[in-house]
Amino acid sequence: MQFGASTFIWVSPFSTASFHLLQKIKTAGYDIIEVAVEDAAIIDWNELISRARDLDLKITISGAFGEDRDISSTDSRIRYQGLRYIANCVTIAAKVGSPVFGGPVYSAVGKTRIVSPEQKKQEREWCINGLKESVKVAADHGVVIGLEPLNRFETDMINTVDQALELVKEVDSPHLQILLDTFHANIEEKNIPAAIRKIGKALLCHIQGNESDRGTPGTGHLDWPGIKEALVEIGYEGAIVLETFGAPSAALAKAACIWRPLANSADELATEGAKFYRKMYS
């Protein structure tokens, strides 16, 4: 099992000026830096690849889906922007050697409303059409798009593993699979190990192993032994990445409802998280 740390733990947005984080991530005991792409233009990707290689760190890519990147939006211009963003991130993932590009690719974080059945159906159709276009790009680049269910306070579209499986089935491509974030699953799933078994090895492409309060793994009430048992049982071969928010931007804080510090410091959270992962999976 390989473990990673998201750039979101320390900074938002991640940029070339943030490259000192690679050494922190390596020193903390991680194998992977997961880059949250808020603005691809402020990252020198060639330098990032070089620095990661020097530190023997792998790179994975995750998305940041604000309201201007919503492929299920009623505004066709926003849907187009969302598709371009996904395609760009898939291209970046291929460039840096990330097997996955993950996130709530179906909508915007913080988009929570009651809408008519007709509008809900239409938004889902736009989403499916967009994902079918996106998986073509992913197939061309040998990348898997990881669709991440979010909790009910952050999206009204895909909250549960069952909903994610249904959407993945409709798109019907090996390049669209499921990213499971245990923080969201703790809210929406009755049993996280059972949800992992339901997804199965064939469709579980990535794990964001986050605690019940988004704090340090092992300090909350998640069933970590059960999660480990389920991952071992299905033969999961992907990564486990810690993704929480130490210094979120104002927009991210609002969308993800981050109102207080989640640990004494980002460095402590990351270091203690790595220790917990290593001990749990030793």
Q: Are 135 and 85 in contact (CB under 8 A)?
A: no
Spot the catalytic one: 38, 148, 154, 188: 148
Q: Which residues on neighbouring strands pair with residue 204, listed in sequence order?
A: 178
Residue 272 annotated in active site: no
Is 118 assigned a catalytic role? no
DSSP 209-242: ---TTSSSTTSS---HHHHHHHHHHHT--SEEEE
Give the active site residue among 34, 123, 243, 272. 243
- 245 in Cβ contact with 253 (< 8 Å): yes
Structure tokens that stand for 209 in this block:
């192993």
How far is residue 176 from each of residues 228, 260, 268, measured CA to CA in Å? Answer: 24, 34, 34
Judge whether 5 and 30 are in contact, CB under 8 Å.
yes
Residues assigned a catalytic role: 148, 243
